[in-house]
Structures are given as C-alpha cells and as structure tokens.
Chains A and B, each alone.
Chain A
C-alpha cells in the first residue's frame, strides 16, 4: 500500500516529540533531551492562566514563559513529574491542571463517557426489544382479522 510507504519515509525520526509551539528561543530548552521531553510533556498538562484554554507550552504569554522556566528549573533540580505538578497545584490551584483531578466533584465528568454510552445502549436495547414485541403482536391481530375476513368469503 502506497500510503504505508509514505508513513515509512516520513516517520524516520522515532522520537515522536510533543509539539511545543510557544517556546520562543532555544535557550529556554533544557540541555538534556530526556528532561526537556519531560518538561514539554508536563507543560502540555498545565494551563496558561492568562490565555484562554492554551497550555504553557502552546502560549507565547510572559506568564507562560515564566511557568515554563519554573517547570524546567524544578526538573533540573531533581523533582519527579508528580512533585512538579503538585508544586503548581499548591501555588495556583486546580485551575492550572488541564486534566482535572479525579475527586467527588469531578466524578460526573470522568464517568460521563461510560455513563452516556451505557444509557444510550440501554435505551436502544429496551426500545428495540419492546418494539419487536408490540409490532409482532399487532401484526398477528391484523393478520387474524384478515384471516377472518378471508374465511368469510
């Protein structure tokens, strides 16, 4: 298949990077590529607080730049991903997380996919089953009537 060949040719570099659109200049990036990748990954989960709906990696705002710096500083200082995220939440609250935490308050949000799917399947199942019964019943009644009429002739 030709398109497989295309994928082959164009996916040569295997590092599959996260796309960091907001980074302004190369000196923002960490020297160690693994750490830089971790930083970009984390950054894409952190909201740029003064823009609407962008992550700090996507935004060119000053505050986003500062926060990117903090993320990289903390990673370079040895914090784990968990610790950096916790630091951000401690300072800015849950608003900074683009992926909301799983708590009682957000339970409905996290369960919605399964909930909606189950409700949809259930309703479809029940409606179709019910319809099969009523329609066959109606048909037999009609058929019975016609049969009676035919018999009369």
Chain B
C-alpha cells in the first residue's frame, strides 16, 4: 500500500470514532422518540424476586395487609403505590378503575395522612380491594420505590413479575394483562 494511503487511513481514525459516536446518538434519538429509551429510568433489580417483608396498617375504607397475606393469594395481584398529593396518581385513577374488573388491585398510600387519602378515594372512586398506609415511606424504600405512582404485578407465591414506575396508561395495562392471561 502506498505510504500516503496508509497515512490517510490512520488519520481517518478520528472521523471513524466520531462516526460511531454519531451513529450511537442517532440510535438514542430514534429510541427516545419511540419511547423505549429513557435516560432517567432507574431500572431497579426487582423483577423475578420475592416480595420484601412488610406490614401495613389499615387505611380506611379498607384493611391493611402484610407480606404473608400477599404471598398466599392464589390469583395475581397488582400493588399500586399512590398518594393524594400526587397529580399523576389522580390521572391514573380512571385507568385503575377499569383495570379493577380484570385484576385485584391492592393500594399502598405513600407518605400521606389517612384523612387525606380517605377524602381522595371518596372523590375518585376506590379501585382498591385492600389498602395499607406507609406514612414514612420506609416500606416504599424496601420495594425500591423512587416516587409515586408505581405499580408491581405479584404472581401467586409472591414473585414480582412486572414493575411499572410511571402512571399506568392504556398501553401499559395491555402489557400488564398479557402477563395475567
């Protein structure tokens, strides 16, 4: 190979590196648009693990629950962390209402006051079969929570099969229901 061609190949390494990086960025942008790339997601290692140990006090109008009760369920349960002060939780309520006819939903009121939660459920209809309180957020941390709302699908035996750290939508509920079928 001619000397100058060899040098040109060598000196084109910066271009090659930049091109690879550019290709990567393009891929990231297209996935950002599609919605399957989120630089802010945490991706907690909770899938296919057993539920953590916990006990929750009652949250009227329903009774609280603990790890054993959840484990002993024979049908899948959707655990939904919510709060009355959380605006996306409000928008999620409609979806939860529709979902409640397909699957049992148990709620955990995160860092909230019992009166506020009771009022919230009264105003927005209650999709939850059981509700527990987590007033200081410690149970949330055991579940790897980083905010509300977050939902977890628990299969019989207490294994977490699906985790959705955002407000539920029509598309995400479709994915959820596919696990249940």
Which residues on A are within 8 Å of B, measured CB to CB? Answer: 49-50, 62-63, 66-67, 70, 89-93, 95-96
Contact = CB atoms under 8 A, between A and B. Distances in A.
Given A62-B137, A93-B42, 10 more contacts: A50-B147, A62-B111, A63-B146, A66-B137, A66-B138, A70-B141, A90-B45, A92-B45, A93-B44, A96-B42
A66 B147 CA distance: 12
Nearest to A67: B141
Contacts of B45: 89-93
User: Which of A50, A90, A91, A93 has the largest number of chain B CB atoms within 10 A?
Assistant: A91
24 contacts: A49-B42, A49-B146, A50-B146, A50-B147, A62-B111, A63-B146, A63-B147, A66-B137, A66-B140, A66-B141, A67-B141, A70-B138, A89-B45, A90-B45, A91-B45, A91-B142, A91-B144, A92-B44, A93-B44, A93-B45, A93-B144, A95-B42, A95-B43, A96-B42
Secondary structure of the B contact surface, majority rule: loop
Interface string B106-148: 0000010000000000000000000000001110111010110
A90 B111 CA distance: 23
Nearest to A93: B45
B20 to A, nearest CB: 13
A90 B46 CA distance: 8
A66 B143 CA distance: 13
Nearest to B143: A91
5 residue pairs, one from A and one from B, having the closest CB atoms: A91-B144, A49-B146, A93-B45, A95-B42, A66-B137
Interface of B: 42-45, 111, 136-138, 140-142, 144, 146-147
A116 to B, nearest CB: 12
B37 to A, nearest CB: 15
Nearest to A52: B40
A61 to B, nearest CB: 10
A96 B144 CA distance: 11
Nearest to B45: A93
A62 B147 CA distance: 10
B143 to A, nearest CB: 8
A81 B76 CA distance: 37
A93 B141 contact: no
Contacts of A95: 42-44
Nearest to B145: A63
A92 B144 contact: yes
Contacts of B147: 50, 63
A91 B43 contact: no
Nearest to B46: A91
Contact of A91 (B111, B136, B137, B141): B141
Contacts of A89: 45
Contacts of A70: 138, 141
Contacts of B138: 66, 70
A118 to B, nearest CB: 15
A91 B139 CA distance: 12
A91 B49 CA distance: 11
A148 B136 CA distance: 94
